[in-house]
């Protein structure tokens, strides 16, 4: 819509000619100039400029929809009103059905906590037919760090849905729906994204998983502000992919240590009532999500996976629907499962903290349990 | 006032100056036919120029001599006006107190905060609360929700609408003091029907929409709030010319201010925060805030 040609907009002939003579061919060119600039450039009066701008604006502006018709449309056309159930009952209940369509859902946590396991489980679920709770479609899995294990995928399938996966043809069919891409650089990733857009248009792909976003950027030589800029195009592109195809997009993110440069206090934040700023800083976790604040704004749902006093928790840190809840979970041979469906409500900034306490012991214990 | 400030086209201006008319007073005594002859333009064009010139001159002289009487309002009247203005409650008593009663009409309010703090939630709440009927102290108006990031969740809006209706029934019951079931005739679906949702995918569409709102608001006079979520999202990417960006953003802010005043509605702008690199330290600050200082700003933090 932004690149609509002026020639296609029904304007009075005289002004249309002037626009083309001055090389203003798209609506974007015309709308980024102010009224006075246009008057100077086109040598016409204010009223003509105003009427031309209002006509162009009317055509370029998107149509409206009432929130009610939006809701009805979603519930009619989409699976469960636009949610993909994860199979974790407590989490699905908190998220009003599951992972939302059309927006980015982020999984962030320290290494080895279970992000890839969660992604494997979700990919498997998405490939299943709808009567098993799946999306009955293809899944594109972008595996940046080569962590995808098809053996583990089939093990999860066999333990969770033995009736399907025991039959070799069915197992092949389901596993065949999961397409794994392994880009080795950001440029390759960019290319694959553009190809993905095409296959999404053909409606065969029902979910996109990117594991992990942070690893793509950390490999690049640019630092600081320019790195943010390269990523901003990708963020925008992935968001628009998710939105026009209305599929769930799951992205994993890593953690890093907090630098002393990191702005943890905001200039507009007042001191807490008991003046205990000093003590709160001590208990703040030293881990933060990688990829910065622009990324944090772009994701709609953020699920923090962390380890605290020997147990693992999945916390709903950012969600437009769910209150800030934490669910204990563990990794089993059939994937990931919650130890309790009643989430514990976490108040204040604690919900965003990422803890890694007692994590090493868990990893060792977990490995024994898996074999 | 000089000729070069008149809102006429460049070539007309050029002709006036080369014919020797450099100030407005020189145009005050000439007739349109004489002017047409001197400038070698048509008579209607000359009449137009004279009309524009007299209009500008008229407003200037009135400013100079009659500013005490014309166009000015005494501070007492302004106070009275402000008090009688209705506000849109944010459903949080503390926040309403800070804002002086709620979100004000005829004003642009900017709300900023870190990701996940609740800006969109507040935006949706305001879009629902503007619909509270007059009997309950609300504006009984409709809402426009301009979504630039795709963060509007219909299910959440439905939940908030349900809660709002429940609150109204509660209030009704309290007022009547007879503890009978006082059913409010509104349904959450009715509330959702009064929210006009626009989805914007680029800054061009954003500019076009704000231009188009003029016409839209004349056709839908019961809209009382415009929520833009979030106002700077599209301007933070792929804008190479920073000066252009500043000009476009300030133009947009002015238009919104204009809409707020003309149609007596409230404009709520939601903004993101970013890290600002000042000297050796990093601070969190509102994105592109310097451009939007026409509004009252509220920051949210946990």
Kindly state whether A60 is in contact with chain B, defined as any CB-CB distance less than 8 angstroms. Answer: yes
Q: pLDDT by residue (tens digit) across A229-267?
A: 667 788 888 888 888 888 999 999 988 887 655 555 555
Rounded to a whole number of angstroms, the distance from the CA of A50 to the nearest CA of chain B is: 10
Q: pLDDT by residue (tens digit) across A49-101?
A: 888 888 888 888 889 999 999 888 888 887 777 889 998 999 999 998 899 99
Q: pLDDT by residue (tens digit) across A6-41?
A: 777 888 888 888 888 888 888 888 888 888 888 888
pLDDT, mean of residues A119-129: 92
Residue A281 reports pLDDT greater than 50: no
Q: Of A54-68, A196-210, A270-284, B230-244, which has the strongest mean pLDDT?
A: A54-68
User: Is B288 a member of any domain?
Assistant: yes
Residues B48 and B89 in one domain: no
User: In 3-state terms, chain B is what percent helix, strand and coil (to 5)?
Assistant: 50, 20, 30
**pLDDT of amino acid B30:** 79
Helix H or strand E encompassing A41: helix A35-42
Kindly state whether A31 is in contact with chain B, defined as any CB-CB distance less than 8 angstroms. Answer: yes
CATH of A76-259+281-352, one of 3.40.47.10, 3.40.50.300, 1.10.579.10, 3.40.50.720: 3.40.50.300
Residues B256 and B219 in one domain: yes
Residues B160 and B222 in one domain: yes
Pairs of residues, one from chain A and one from chain B, whose beta carbons lie less than 8 Å apart: 179
User: Is B63 a member of any domain?
Assistant: no
Q: What is the pTM of this model?
A: 0.80
Residue B284 belongs to what domain range? 80-299
Q: Which is nearest to A1 in space by CA: B203, B65, B217?
A: B203
**pLDDT of amino acid A132:** 84
**pLDDT of amino acid B238:** 63
Residue A206 reports pLDDT greater than 80: yes
Kindly state whether A321 is in contact with chain B, defined as any CB-CB distance less than 8 angstroms. Answer: yes
Residues B118 and B249 in one domain: yes
User: Is B69 a member of any domain?
Assistant: no
DSSP letter assigned to residue A356: B
Domain end, chosen from B40, B56, B72, is at B56
Residues B36 and B178 in one domain: no
Which chain A residue lies closest to B249 (C-alpha atoms)?
A32
CA distances in angstroms from B117 to A53, A242, A320, B106, B112, listed in the order given: 37, 23, 10, 26, 9
Residues B285 and B201 in one domain: yes
Domain ranges of chain A: 6-60, 76-259+281-352
Q: Which residues of A touch B284 (CB under 8 A)?
A: 263, 266-267, 293
In DSSP notation, A159-170 reads HH-HHHHTSHHH
Q: Which is nearest to A8 in space by CA: A30, A23, A27, A21?
A: A27
Residues B163 and B44 in one domain: no
User: Is B74 a member of any domain?
Assistant: no
Residues B165 and B212 in one domain: yes
Put simply, the chain A residues between 199 and 228 with a CB less than 8 A from any chain B CB are 225
Residue A214 reports pLDDT greater than 70: yes
Q: Do A67 and B193 touch (CB under 8 A)?
A: yes
Q: Bigger pLDDT: B178 or B265?
A: B265
Residues B41 and B86 in one domain: no
Dist CA A115 CA A358 (whole Å): 17
Dist CA B288 CA B270 (whole Å): 12
Confidence of residue B286 (pLDDT cuts 50, 70, 90): low
Q: Bigger pLDDT: B266 or B50?
A: B266
Residues B169 and B273 in one domain: yes
Angle (deg, nearest 10), helices A46-60 and A13-21: 90
In DSSP notation, B201-263 reads -SHHHHHHHHHHHHHHHHH-TTEEEEEEETTTGGGGSS---HHHHHHHHHHHHHHHHHHHHHH
Residue A223 reports pLDDT greater than 70: no
User: Is B75 a member of any domain?
Assistant: no
Determine which of A165-169, A198-202, A268-272 has the lowest per-residue pLDDT on average: A268-272
Domain CATH code at residue B29:
1.10.150
Domain CATH code at residue B102:
3.40.50.300
Residue A274 reports pLDDT greater than 80: no
ipTM of the complex: 0.81
Residue A273 reports pLDDT greater than 50: no
Angle (deg, nearest 10), helices B119-129 and B154-176: 50
Confidence of residue A282 (pLDDT cuts 50, 70, 90): very low
User: Is B61 a member of any domain?
Assistant: no
For chain B, how many structural domains are there in total?
2
Residues B24 and B90 in one domain: no
User: Is B71 a member of any domain?
Assistant: no
Residues B154 and B285 in one domain: yes
């Amino acid at each position: 819509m932004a690149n609509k040609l002026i020639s296609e907009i029904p304007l009075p002939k005289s002004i249309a000619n002037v626009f083309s003579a001055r090389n203003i061919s798209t609506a974007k060119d015309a709308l980024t100039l102010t009224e006075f600039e246009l008057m100077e450039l086109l040598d016409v009066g204010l009223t003509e400029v105003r009427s031309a701008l209002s006509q162009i604006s009317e055509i370029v502006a998107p149509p409206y929809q009432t929130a009610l018709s939006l809701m009805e449309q979603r519930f009619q056309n989409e699976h469960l009103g636009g949610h993909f159930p994860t199979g974790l009952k407590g989490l699905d209940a908190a998220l009003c059905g599951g992972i939302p369509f059309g927006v980015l859902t982020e999984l962030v946590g320290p290494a080895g906590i279970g992000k890839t396991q969660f992604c494997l489980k979700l990919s498997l679920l998405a490939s299943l037919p709808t009567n098993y709770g799946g999306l009955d479609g293809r899944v594109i899995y972008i595996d940046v760090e080569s962590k995808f294990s098809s053996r583990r995928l089939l093990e999860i399938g066999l333990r969770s849905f033995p009736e399907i996966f025991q039959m070799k043809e069915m197992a092949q069919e389901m596993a065949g729906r999961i397409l794994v891409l392994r880009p080795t650089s950001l440029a390759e990733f960019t290319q694959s994204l553009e190809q993905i857009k095409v296959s999404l248009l053909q409606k065969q792909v029902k979910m996109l998983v990117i594991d992990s976003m942070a690893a793509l950027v950390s490999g690049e030589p640019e630092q600081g502000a320019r790195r943010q800029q390269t990523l901003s195009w990708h963020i925008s592109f992935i968001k628009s992919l998710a939105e026009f195809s209305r599929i769930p997009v799951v992205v994993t993110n890593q953690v890093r240590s907090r630098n002393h440069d990191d702005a943890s206090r905001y200039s507009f934040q007042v001191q807490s009532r008991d003046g205990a700023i000093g003590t709160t800083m001590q208990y703040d976790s030293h881990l933060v999500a990688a990829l910065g604040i622009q990324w944090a704004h772009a994701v709609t749902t953020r699920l923090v996976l962390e380890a605290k006093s020997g147990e693992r928790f999945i916390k709903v840190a950012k969600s437009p629907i769910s209150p800030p809840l934490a669910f204990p979970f563990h990794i089993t041979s059939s994937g990931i499962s919650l130890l309790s469906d009643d989430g514990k409500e976490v108040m204040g900034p604690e919900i965003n903290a990422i803890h890694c306490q007692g994590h090493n012991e868990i990893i060792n214990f977990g490995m024994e349990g898996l074999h | 006032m000089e000729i070069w400030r008149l809102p006429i086209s460049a070539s007309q201006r050029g002709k006036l100056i080369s014919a020797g008319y450099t100030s407005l007073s020189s145009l005050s005594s000439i007739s349109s036919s004489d002017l047409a002859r001197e400038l070698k333009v048509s008579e209607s064009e000359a009449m137009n120029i004279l009309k524009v010139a007299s209009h500008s001159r008229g407003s200037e002289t009135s400013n100079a001599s009659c500013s005490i009487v014309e166009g000015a309002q005494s501070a007492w009247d302004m106070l009275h006006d402000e008090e009688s203005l209705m506000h849109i409650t944010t459903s949080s008593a503390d926040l309403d107190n800070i804002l002086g009663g709620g979100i004000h009409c005829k004003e642009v309010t900017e709300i900023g905060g870190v990701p996940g703090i609740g800006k969109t939630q507040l935006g949706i709440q305001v879009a629902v609360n503007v619909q509270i009927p007059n009997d309950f102290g609300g504006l009984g108006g409709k809402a426009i929700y301009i979504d630039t990031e795709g963060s509007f969740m219909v299910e959440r809006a439905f939940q908030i609408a349900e809660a709002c209706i429940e609150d109204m029934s509660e209030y009704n019951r309290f007022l009547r003091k007879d503890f009978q079931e006082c059913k409010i005739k509104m349904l959450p679906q009715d509330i959702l029907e009064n929210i006009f949702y626009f989805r914007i995918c680029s800054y061009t569409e954003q500019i076009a929409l704000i231009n188009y709102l003029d016409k839209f608001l004349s056709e839908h006079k019961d809209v009382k709030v415009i929520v833009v979520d979030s106002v700077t999202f599209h301007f933070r990417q792929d804008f190479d010319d920073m000066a252009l960006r500043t000009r476009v953003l300030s133009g947009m802010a002015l238009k919104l201010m204009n809409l707020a005043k003309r149609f007596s509605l409230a404009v709520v702008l939601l903004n993101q925060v970013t890290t600002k690199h000042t000297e050796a330290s990093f601070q969190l600050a509102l994105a592109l805030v310097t451009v939007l200082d026409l509004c009252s700003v509220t920051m949210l933090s946990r």
